[in-house]
Amino acid sequence: MSILMEVVAEQWEYRELLVRMTARDLLLRYKQTVMGFGWAIFMPLVNTAIFSVIFTRVAAIDVGTPYPVYAFCGLVAWNFFASSLRFSVTSLTSNPSLVTKVYFPREIFPFSAVLVSIVDFAVSSLVLVALMLYYRVEVGWPLLMLPVVVLAIIVFTAATALVISMANLFYRDVKYLFEIVIAVWMFATSVVYPIGRVGGKLGAVLALNPMTHLIDAFRAVLLDQRMPGMAFHLTFAASILMLAGAWVMFHLAEFDFAENL
């Protein structure tokens, strides 16, 4: 516990550096791009259109709400998670001079990747609101739980970002395996179809996926006017413990970072 308090206090001390690093990464991500922040909107919309054709014309499923809203809602949350990890995985190895020569909390790199993706998440959420208005999706008082649900997604994402950024520094194969894992993970999550409808042993295994419970909770408070279930609360609690453990592990491994770059 004392180590955790120490790393949190150190991160707070270097909070200005985290803000500057995030601003730098945000600028670099969209520098010399024509669409800029439009990419945060374009890709989820394209994927929503594709999956809407598949799941409304080819293999129609009833999800209880207009399918484009259902799919876009899941893709907004998933793209934040996947984008954060995609930039986190190489966040340490792509900054060798800073990691080896200047002292500051190295977790700033994966945390910066998460914060940049939060900006994209906020931009694409505006389109989600527009879609909900267009399809006349009503909201209720469970919407008050939305900040808690979003926080849970961020906590789980930050914990995973710490683990994979550190893993890739020690084992460079991780960045190659990541693209395969993230693609499979998406279809093992309730992003574009309800995982709960998968029965048997496969359904039982998929039910252990924490991202499914987080995305289901995101949809519950936004689209279904209901509170998240117990699975969400257990996932949130586990995510907090995971972040604490990953943060301490990351801090203890920092002394070996320079030797592996």
Cβ 124 vs Cβ 76: under 8 Å: yes
For residues 79 and 75, what is the distance between their CA atoms, to the nearest angstrom? Answer: 6
Residue 97: per-residue pLDDT: 78
Residue 206: per-residue pLDDT: 87
Residue 34: per-residue pLDDT: 61
Residue 156: per-residue pLDDT: 98
Closest residue by Cα to residue 126 from 63, 230, 37, 3 = 37
Supply the range of the domain harboring residue 156: 2-260
Residue 258: per-residue pLDDT: 67
For residues 30 and 211, what is the distance between their CA atoms, to the nearest angstrom? Answer: 27
Phi, psi angle pair for 226, to nearest 5°: -140, 160
Cβ 180 vs Cβ 42: under 8 Å: no
Cβ 113 vs Cβ 68: under 8 Å: no
Count of domains observed in the chain = 1
pLDDT along the chain (261 residues), means of 10: 80 88 83 67 82 80 88 94 94 82 85 93 92 92 96 97 94 91 93 84 87 96 93 96 93 78 63
In this prediction the pTM is 0.92
